[in-house]
Chain A
Amino acid sequence: MRALLLIAPLLAFVLITFVMPIADMLFRSVENGIVSDILPRTSAAIKDWNSQGVDDLPHENVYRNLLVDLTIAVKRRTQTRVGSRLNYEAAGISSSFRRVGRGLRSFNTEPYSNYFIHQDENWGDTGYLEQLFSNPRISAALPSSASAFRTWQTDFSSDQIITPDDFVFVALASDLSTLANDKVSDLGIDSLRTAHADIDQLSTSSIKHMFIEFDKNWGDVNLWKTIKTFSPRYTDGYFLNAVDLKRGIDGVERRDQSERIYLVLFVRTAVMSLTITVLCILLGYPVAYLLAHLPLRKANLLLILVLLPFWTSLLVRTSAWKVLLQQEGVINDILVTIGLVDDAARLVMINNQFGTIVAMSHILLPFMILPLYSVMKTIPPSYIRAARSLGATPFTAFWRVYFPQSLPGIGAGSVLVFILAVGYYITPELVGGVKGTFISNRIAYHISSSLNWGLGAALGTLLLVAVLILYWVYDRIVGIDNVKLG
């Protein structure tokens, strides 16, 4: 118990700074409440719609509910968000939502309020509606209109207005037209029965027609399929997107050629990170060996040189590589001066994969050298001597005796470098151009620019899973016990 108390602060810290953000990320990658939160009535109404062809659009009532939802969303300034969300799945939806949000007030919905109020003046009185909807049976039978009225009361009404806005009546029309005769009779309200009898009259003022008239996209079956597909609260859409798939008309399918980017990026990230890791081993091993075998004073000086990059800012180091590698840069200048490269054919070493690999290898090199160094320090020189005395040539002694013992260092360094490389995005962004960027750059883009956090989270989750799998495989092959930091 006391032990638990002692580690409690650390536990809380880890929980808050590590576990919770990851859990949040996992949740966001499947969470999809936005459509059903902002378009609740439309989501409910579209459930029964199953398109049979390109001309088989949703029923008029779906459009009526959309109008109600959008009117409320515009008031609350949330319509653009549902548009942005659906736009991730099918580019083009966002503009439809944004424009209709702005154009909604041009829709002529007056026939709806007129229809009811001309039948019975009570319909225009908030008090009457209040009384009507306070009856639970009626609220249950007329769900869209009940909730629309409540929202109107909280978000729209003021003391001066006693007649609800048109959208409440549009909702009422939608509810009534779906009810059977006997159900309406059961409710026992005369005004409802009267209104129900002639409700088909309103089809002349078709909301569906108004939407399509305003923007022909609302007559596109695919747009509605997208809304229907993504109205549930949880979705696999982000994950499908993250592996270049989408939930199309007939289930999961590959994305269009022009939209497939993530698998390529995952593979590129893995291949380039691996290249960087190998490069770090090749460059770091001799340095670590020197460090471990030089006299102390010289070794300390070398160690400072190795650590120097740690003490300079990442941006400074990356910028330095820019200065070195660019076409008018130092390396090209030298090559041109000594005549190795023609002035007109300067080497392109930056804004491509080469630039990323060079700069990242440099930045990550200490993470390879330090574990290697500390492992090598623990290998006594007598092993090499023993091997030599047993008849091994210097190379055999190194390869059969020294190298295997330094493997834990290589393992630790590789795991560190690879995992760091996979997650890097600042350096690739600065020196990688278009071809030298990683999946993490896309994650950063989705988190800070496109604001598609769901997709960013899905990509991040996949990256996390990939790293965990790698870790597991590594444990299987090498054994995590064999990873030593010294």
Chain B
Amino acid sequence: MKFSKVLTATSSAVGLVVAGSSLFAMDLTVVSWGGAYSQSQIDAYHDPYMAKNPDVNFIYDESGAESVARLRAMKEANNLTWDLVDAVASDAIRLCDEGLAMPIDADAVLASAPDGTPASEDFGDLIINECFIPQIVYSTTFGYRTDVDEWNGRTPSTVCDVFDLKNFPGKRALEKRPINNMEWALHCDGVALSDVYDVLSSDEGVARALAKLDTIKDQVIWWSAGADTPQLLADGEIVMGSTYNGRLFNLIVEKGAPVDMLWDAQAFDLDGWIIPSGLPADRLEAVFDFVNFATDTQRLADQAKYISYGPARKSSAPLVGKHATLGVEMGPHMPTAPENSRNVLIYDYVWWADFRDDLDQRFQAWLAQ
């Protein structure tokens, strides 16, 4: 096992061997997003790993949403306390661009597929830069209540119904940031999904998207935590709202709320691991060992037993089965299922990495007006 080198190094340096495992146990701080998502990771990755490696102890941190800010602060203070961070694609690009995440060689660090296909090929395009270790494909999409009297039996069928206050009155929840909202607004203002980023690259395009959002601004509740929309939907506070598809799965299938999915123009995004740059060698080795395990074909497929996010490896797809406790077939609930992905917004994380600062500034100012 890989710790043996560390062990000998330590004992020879200190000059004596102290018995007892506590001296050699390693605490690894893993940052993720909390809630059902973190739980699925713990069930699929961490617990099985700890069963095999009793010397490793995980400390779970739920600051995923602040990873860029926190890592930047840690670098300034020169006090890195995180060992592994779960980040969405655009954050991963920002972290990588700023040198806060370390570049890795996918084929050297990650396991190959069972048939021998190297990791870089198995993950394919999902390895969006040299720092990113993909885990899942998820989407941001809408859920709506199925019992709204004012709709007179109509049900939303396209994302543009979100902007239709006449036929679908009621409060809706949108995320408190420009990502996705701008694309949907432009799309519903008549821009083809494939052209939205070109249009958004200009000031006029941004103004156009904000103008479209202005038409529903009064009726919008802005969310910032993934759990907000499901809660608001369950309470009947909103009639529709965007959130991550896994959260809606949880609300609809597990809790049985009178809510349905609107898959139209769902925004595909990736989520994966990044390793903070500047880890000491022994910790890095431990992190590599865990990541190698946690992103292998079986583990990624296992995670889909707990939450409806698609595994990032091609080789995991055939292994996706039924939900661990509910027994429902997970395939049809995946954002990647053919009937769900007829019309998708391919979220352009590279474009967003470039334009995030610009649009955040404009969007937040617009929001505060």
Q: Which residues of B contact A327 (CB under 8 A)?
A: 171, 236-237
Most chain B beta-carbon neighbours within 10 Å: one of A95, A429, A433, A450: A95
State the CA gap A449–B356 with chains docked (Å): 11
Min distance, Cβ B164 to any Cβ of chain A, angstroms: 19
State the CA gap A87–B365 with chains docked (Å): 14
Most chain A beta-carbon neighbours within 10 Å: one of B96, B98, B357: B357
Min distance, Cβ A57 to any Cβ of chain B, angstroms: 20
Q: Which residues of B contact A77 (CB under 8 A)?
A: 96-99
B367 on the A face (CB < 8 A): yes
B68 on the A face (CB < 8 A): yes
B47 on the A face (CB < 8 A): no
With contact pairs A78-B99, A80-B94, A81-B98 given, residues A433 and B354 touching in the complex (Cβ less than 8 Å)? no
Contact assessment for B354 and A98 in the assembled complex, using a CB-CB cutoff below 8 Å: yes
Q: Which residues of A contact B236 (CB under 8 A)?
A: 327-328
Interface residues on A, range: 35 or more
State the CA gap A326–B173 with chains docked (Å): 14
- Complex A-B, nearest 6 residue pairs according to Cβ-Cβ distance, in ascending order: A77-B99, A94-B357, A261-B368, A95-B354, A328-B236, A87-B357
Q: Which residues of B contact A196 (CB under 8 A)?
A: none
Contact assessment for A259 and B68 in the assembled complex, using a CB-CB cutoff below 8 Å: no
9 A-B pairs with CB atoms under 8 Å apart are A77-B96, A91-B357, A92-B358, A98-B97, A261-B364, A329-B235, A351-B221, A447-B69, A450-B364
Give 1 or 0 for each of B9-41: 1 = CB within 8 Å of chain A CB: 000000000000000000000000000000000
State the CA gap A259–B360 with chains docked (Å): 12
Q: Which residues of B contact A99 (CB under 8 A)?
A: 354
B60 on the A face (CB < 8 A): no
Partner of B222, one of A87, A101, A328, A433: A433
Q: Which residues of B contact A328 (CB under 8 A)?
A: 235-237
Partner of A434, one of B66, B171, B368: B368
Give 1 or 0 for each of B220-246: 1 = CB within 8 Å of chain A CB: 011010000000000111000000000
Contact assessment for B66 and A450 in the assembled complex, using a CB-CB cutoff below 8 Å: no
A88 on the B face (CB < 8 A): yes
Give 1 or 0 for each of A242-263: 1 = CB within 8 Å of chain B CB: 0000000000000000110100
Closest to A268 in B: B368
Q: Which residues of B contact A93 (CB under 8 A)?
A: 358
Q: Which residues of B contact A411 (CB under 8 A)?
A: none
Q: Which residues of B contact A83 (CB under 8 A)?
A: 357
A448 on the B face (CB < 8 A): yes
Min distance, Cβ A137 to any Cβ of chain B, angstroms: 36
A65 on the B face (CB < 8 A): no
A451 on the B face (CB < 8 A): yes
Residues in chain A within 8 A of chain B (CB atoms)? 76-81, 83-84, 87-88, 91-95, 98-99, 101, 258-259, 261, 264-265, 326-329, 351, 429, 433-434, 437, 442, 445, 447-451
B151 on the A face (CB < 8 A): no
Could you tell me how many residues of chain B have their Cβ less than 8 Å away from some Cβ of chain A?
32
Most chain A beta-carbon neighbours within 10 Å: one of B72, B221, B368: B368
Give 1 or 0 for each of B198-224: 1 = CB within 8 Å of chain A CB: 000001000000000000000001101
Partner of B357, one of A95, A101, A258, A259: A95
State the CA gap A395–B365 with chains docked (Å): 51
B160-218 with Cβ < 8 A to chain A: 171, 203
Contact assessment for A451 and B97 in the assembled complex, using a CB-CB cutoff below 8 Å: no
Contact assessment for A94 and B354 in the assembled complex, using a CB-CB cutoff below 8 Å: yes
B353 on the A face (CB < 8 A): yes
Contact assessment for B98 and A258 in the assembled complex, using a CB-CB cutoff below 8 Å: no
Contact assessment for A101 and B97 in the assembled complex, using a CB-CB cutoff below 8 Å: yes
Q: Which residues of A contact B355 (CB under 8 A)?
A: 94-95
Min distance, Cβ A99 to any Cβ of chain B, angstroms: 6
Contact assessment for B94 and A450 in the assembled complex, using a CB-CB cutoff below 8 Å: no
With contact pairs A91-B362, A451-B72 given, residues A261 and B369 touching in the complex (Cβ less than 8 Å)? yes
Closest to A434 in B: B367
Contact assessment for B222 and A448 in the assembled complex, using a CB-CB cutoff below 8 Å: no
Partner of B98, one of A80, A351, A437, A442: A80
7 more contacts with CB within 8 A, not counting A94-B357, A101-B97, are: A83-B357, A261-B365, A261-B368, A326-B237, A429-B224, A448-B69, A451-B68
Contact assessment for B361 and A87 in the assembled complex, using a CB-CB cutoff below 8 Å: yes
B341-369 with Cβ < 8 A to chain A: 353-358, 360-362, 364-369
Contact assessment for A448 and B354 in the assembled complex, using a CB-CB cutoff below 8 Å: no
Q: Which residues of A contact B97 (CB under 8 A)?
A: 77, 79-80, 98, 101
Q: Which residues of B contact A78 (CB under 8 A)?
A: 98-99
State the CA gap A264–B236 with chains docked (Å): 32
Q: Which residues of B contact A79 (CB under 8 A)?
A: 97
Q: Which residues of B contact A101 (CB under 8 A)?
A: 97
Q: Which residues of A contact B358 (CB under 8 A)?
A: 87, 91-95
Q: Which residues of B contact A433 (CB under 8 A)?
A: 221-222
Q: Which residues of A contact B360 (CB under 8 A)?
A: 449-450
Min distance, Cβ A217 to any Cβ of chain B, angstroms: 11
Most chain B beta-carbon neighbours within 10 Å: one of A92, A259, A264, A445: A92
Closest to A343 in B: B149
Q: Which residues of B contact A91 (CB under 8 A)?
A: 357-358, 361-362
Contact assessment for A450 and B361 in the assembled complex, using a CB-CB cutoff below 8 Å: yes
Min distance, Cβ A381 to any Cβ of chain B, angstroms: 50
Closest to B210 in A: A258
Closest to B101 in A: A77
